[in-house]
Amino acid sequence: MGPAAPGFRLVFDAAGFDAGWLLAPGMVALALAAVCAALGARARHAEGRGPRRLLGPAAAVLALGAVWWTLGGFGAWRAGVGRLATGTANFVEGAVASPVGAAGGGLVEFRVQGLRFRRARDWLVAPLHATRWPAPVLAEGQRVRLWFFDDDLFRIEVAER
């Protein structure tokens, strides 16, 4: 989308690929699926039954979850970046009102021009959101420019003082 507008500073842009958020959980689930499959194969040769017979189905569920997370997250990210690139993302410019801070810093909710922006309950689930919720530090009355769609913030620019 390019640099920030004159008089504004870019503080968040979803155009950059966030591999840690999109790929890492899927790769961890895939590794766990491989471990379960290997243990399940060993358990077939051993005597006895019990929880070991669940290793095969657990491996299948983990593998499907890994594929859903990775491909779904990549698709959601591409859809969000596509909205930025084509200019179909929603836009608002104005002063920040009613900011609600998180315990570790950043915001979980704020308003701009009467529109409420809040972190969704499922904000960490990559296939459901184009980006993870950013952690901007915005103050009451600070002028911002936002590009968004539903609960996803794609780009945040803050006015320079």
Return the structure tokens found at 145: 């420019």
From CA 41, how far away is CA 21, in angstroms rounded? 31
Integer-rounded Cα Rg, in Å, for the chain is 21
Work out the mean pLDDT of the chain and round it to a whole number: 89
Query: How much of the chain, in percent, has pLDDT values that exceed 90?
Result: 59
Question: Residue 105 pLDDT more than 90?
Answer: no
Question: Residue 46 pLDDT more than 70?
Answer: no
Neighbouring C-beta atoms of residue 73, cutoff 10 Å = 24
Cβ–Cβ under 8 Å, residues 156 and 146 = yes
Measured CA angle at 104 (ends 99, 107), to 5 deg? 20
Tens-digit pLDDT profile for residues 107-131: 889 999 999 999 988 988 989 998 8
Question: Residue 146 pLDDT more than 60?
Answer: yes
Name the pTM for this structure.
Answer: 0.82
Q: What's the average model confidence in pLDDT over 19-33?
A: 92
